[in-house]
Amino acid sequence: MNLGTVSSGVVESRVSTRFDRRLARILDHATAIFCEKGYERASMRDLSRACGMSLAGLYYYFESKQRLLYLVERESFERVMDLLSERLNGVADPEARVRVFIQNHVEFFLARPKVMKVLSHEDDVLEGELGTEIAAIKRSYYRACADLVECLKLDRNQRFNSRNAVMALFGMINWLYTWYNPTVDGSPAVLAQDFADIFLRGVYSGT
């Protein structure tokens, strides 16, 4: 083993971690502004003020408002998919895997209600390459869910309309940002379980 490499790896990971943390904070501030004002009304000046950066610095590092929104979206989908992979690791039962998907999505996004609102409201804002890239990431997240539901369908010998089922599920769990109130609705984990029960019973036709 080459200690030099290890050491450089550690340093690199520390540097990247510090940088990542700073980037994550900036994206959090940008998300809050997009959420509060809407993408259209949010100006680069609002964003620079919220992020604690000079306007010149914001343009230097992020180039444009489009790019900031792109990073907010990419970061969210990448993280929720990474977490999903981790949590699915070692889970074999198809129904349990669908439950993991629901649990992961609900817990991830309820911890980030502003992200949820921005993703829903600014869904069609990104154009050109950035828009294409985000659309591809969203498709792979959709696909991940659809594959889990498809495996369940085969495993349980069901005949439901897969697209309707997956979209019904996304509707249930994405609409949460409009109504979830932690003081009334209890923990995300319990809510996710209730939704998983509704969804699973809902798609099983009892035959």
Contact between 160 and 205 under an 8 Å Cβ cutoff? The reply is yes
For the record, the structure tokens of 157 come out as: 């010998």
Of 13, 120, 132, 187, the one binding its own copies (CB under 8 A) is 120
110 scored as a contact of its own copies (CB under 8 A): no
Smallest gap, in angstroms, from Cβ of residue 52 to its own copies?
A: 25
Those residues whose C-beta lies under 8 Å from the C-beta of residue 120, and which sit 6 or more positions away, are 174, 177
**Helix (H), strand (E), coil (C) string for 91-107:** CCCHHHHHHHHHHHHHH
Q: Rounded to the nearest 5°, which phi and psi values hold at 122?
A: -105, 25
Of 21, 41, 139, 159, the one binding its own copies (CB under 8 A) is 41
201 scored as a contact of its own copies (CB under 8 A): yes
Smallest gap, in angstroms, from Cβ of residue 29 to its own copies?
A: 20
51 scored as a contact of its own copies (CB under 8 A): no
Q: What is the rounded CA–CA span in Å between residue 131 and residue 84?
A: 23
**List of residues contacting its own copies (CB under 8 A):** 38, 40-41, 120-121, 123, 160-161, 163-165, 167-168, 170-176, 178-179, 184-185, 191, 194-195, 197-206
